[in-house]
Amino acid sequence: MQKIKLKGGVDLYSLKSDKFKRWSANIYLCRPLNEKEASYNAVLSAVLRRATMEYPTFRKLQLKLDNMYGTVYTSYVKKTADTHTLVLSVSSVCDKYLPEKTSVQVLKFLKNALFNPYVINGSFDSATVELEKENRIKQIDALINNKGDYADKRLTEIMFEGQPFATDVLGSIDEIRKITAESLYEHYNNVINDSKIVLAVCGDVDINIAKEEFEEISSNENIPKSTVADIRENVKEVTEPMEVTQGKLSMGFKIERGFPLARAEAIVFNAIFGGTATSKLFTNVRERLSLCYYANSRLFYGKRVITVRSGIEIDKYNLVKEEVLNQLSEIQKGNISNEELENAKAHLVNIYTSLDDQPRTKADLIASWLFEGESGDVEALIENIKKVSVEDIKKIAEYVKLDTVYFLTGKGE
């Protein structure tokens, strides 16, 4: 991976590879995470993929992409620690496989999609903005249909109440409804004039083309700082009733500030705890004891948080909660077999090694690490994973404390 600092302050990353027939480029605009910002960014990302001044309708934009040999263009939003990121992405066929070179065209298109969107009299098109507002509202509403994801969202809201990380990646329905075509365009100008901008180019493409095209783009140097909250003195437990037959138990753990957390050890700990099919939660809580339909854990490294999610029979709430804590206790005692450790490490090494076959996913991952204040050196991480010991995992586990429990239960239970 090569990093180039452009004149205007943009960080350009090149992930060179000749393994694939396609190459891609992603622009990341780093913003502070809060409800209003997330809502505006979510709608803006949708509006920006609809039209540009050069291609003022969705149909004309798609025809242009088709004429560039099936180039794919999309935009989306991401949430990393206390950062909300607007991402614009293109993917196209490598020049050497085409009768004409298109990489310059594609990068110009990406640049124009961001800096020259379709604007009428100093405002975005009202009909397009209203359409995309409704689409985002429907996405948020639809979350209730996936009870596991809904329970995870509620856990995050309760665990981080009053803090940026409580914000949903799409913002909120109330904030989205307040957006107008005029206010969205005002927000857009704030985004392009006052954001940390990162450009990642992946695959077999001349990095100098991207360098030339984005050399003068102005980028703010500041990335929003992520805060780490203290652990509650008393665990907060919240139960909410809904029309469900399967309970959803979500548990939030925090890693105490006093422990110098390293990424490699943290992800191996999570893999052993509940992050893989050979984890303690899966093999014991689900398989051996048959206490739940599923049980897994997820690490939010930038927030020093691990969440556990499980689908359970409603009357097994206490049993499952106690057994999850029991499995954590086993790790704290150092009761980790060599097989468990090696399986976890092999699984993670395989995941990170295979990113060479997923350049866009690798670019997203590296960008996330950058927004958490770390380098994006995947190869170094792989080597550090291989060195993790049982004692390293045991030390982390001693600083992992339960903070919040959320239980989605049936009505009348």
What pLDDT does residue 140 have?
A: 96
Mind listing the pLDDT tens digit for each residue in 238-255? 999 999 999 999 999 999
What tokens does 100 get? 């004409």
Mind listing the pLDDT tens digit for each residue in 256-295? 988 999 999 999 999 999 999 999 999 999 999 999 999 9
Q: Give the distance, in angstroms, between the CA of residue 348 and the centroid of all CA atoms in the same chain.
A: 18
Amino acid at 163: Q
What pLDDT does residue 163 have?
A: 95
Q: Is 334 left (phi over 0), alpha (psi -120 to 50) or beta?
A: left
CATH superfamily of 236-410: Metalloenzyme, LuxS/M16 peptidase-like (3.30.830.10)
2-214 architecture in CATH? 2-Layer Sandwich (3.30)
What is residue 165's DSSP assignment?
G
What pLDDT does residue 9 have?
A: 92
pLDDT above 70 for 146: yes
**How does residue 16 score in pLDDT terms, banded at 50, 70 and 90?**
confident
The label of the residue with tokens 């949708």 reads 46
Name the pTM for this structure: 0.94
Mind listing the pLDDT tens digit for each residue in 44-74? 999 999 999 999 999 999 999 999 999 999 9
Q: Give the distance, in angstroms, between the CA of residue 92 and the centroid of all CA atoms in the same chain.
A: 23
Residue 117: φ, ψ to 5°: -70, 170
Structure-model confidence comparison of residues 2 and 190, the more confident one: 190
Average pLDDT over residues 31-36: 96
Nearest CA among 248, 220, 293 for reference residue 408 = 248
pLDDT above 60 for 413: no
Residue 192 has a CB neighbour count (10 Å cut-off) of 16
* Domain 2-214 and domain 236-410 have a common topology: yes
Average pLDDT over residues 87-97: 96
Taking a C-beta distance cutoff of 8 angstroms, is the pair 291, 316 a contact? yes
pLDDT above 70 for 385: yes
Q: For residues 84 and 37, what is the distance between their CA atoms, to the nearest angstrom?
A: 8
The label of the residue with tokens 């607007």 reads 86
Strand order in 247-255's β-sheet?
A: 236-242, 400-410, 247-255, 305-312, 294-300
Mind listing the pLDDT tens digit for each residue in 211-226? 999 999 999 988 888 8
**In the chain, what percentage of residues exceed pLDDT 90?**
88
**In the chain, what percentage of residues exceed pLDDT 70?**
100
The ranges assigned to domains in the chain are: 2-214, 236-410
